Amino acid sequence: MIQGCDFKAMIGGFLDVQDEAALREHLERCASTLGFSQFAMGHHVDLAGPPRDAIRITNYDAEWIERSLSERFFAQDPVHIASTRTATGFLWSDLPSMIVMTDRQHMILEAARHYGLSEGFTVPVHVPGEYRGTCSFGTASLDAMVANALPIATIVGTYAFEAARRVMRMRGLVASNPGRLPTLTGRQGDSLV
């Protein structure tokens, strides 16, 4: 156990899930254990009309999701943009040091506060040949966060995302063959030598 967290059970749960409902339930349990009240995991795509093979699992407030879609917040979401500039997890309060934020992006963060998303931690998950993605954990305050929550959330986020990819493959929605990955031409390979 890591400071009150059964880390083995957290990771094992993601290795065992067989469907989206079980994945959502386990991710919600892990988020709560770490001290977060909400989560959103998914690919960064047009959420108003996402592709069939895009991952999207969340327990965000339904009104917030509806508002985000209707006002197309996802198109300029500062969390999504910042996630493309780092390979490590980050707190939402660190966004101004990561990107130059626009007035609209400040407004998006302020609007999220009304739905219990005042602070959060986001784990970038980028798999070559697939859509960019993240696993975010949100809350009204970090006061309830357990010791070592952020490094544990980083590992939980990556295992959760991989579990989602596996569930999508089982449903036949994500290609599992390497032919989908971009390949180099012979000439491009020569230039690397």
**CA 51 and chain centroid, separation:** 17
**CA 31 and chain centroid, separation:** 12
Rounded to 5°, angle at Cα 146 from 120 and 114: 30
Paired residues of 41 in beta bridges: 57, 135
The pLDDT assigned to 182 comes to 52
pLDDT in tens, 105-120: 999 999 999 999 999 9
Buried b / exposed e over 23-57, threshold 16 CB at 10 Å, is: bbebbbebbbbbbbbbbbbbbbbebeeeeebbbeb
Beta carbons within 8 Å of 73's beta carbon, 6+ residues apart: 67, 108, 111
- Residue 40 in 3-state DSSP? strand
Beta carbons within 8 Å of 31's beta carbon, 6+ residues apart: 37, 38, 39, 59, 137
pLDDT in tens, 27-78: 999 999 999 999 999 999 887 888 888 899 999 999 999 999 999 998 899 9
The pLDDT assigned to 184 comes to 58
Round to whole Å and give the CA distance between 149 and 1: 13
Say whether pLDDT at 157 is over 90: yes
The pLDDT assigned to 193 comes to 54
Round to whole Å and give the CA distance between 37 and 79: 18
Joined together, the tokens standing for residue 40 give 């959103």
Residue where the block lists tokens 């999207």: 56
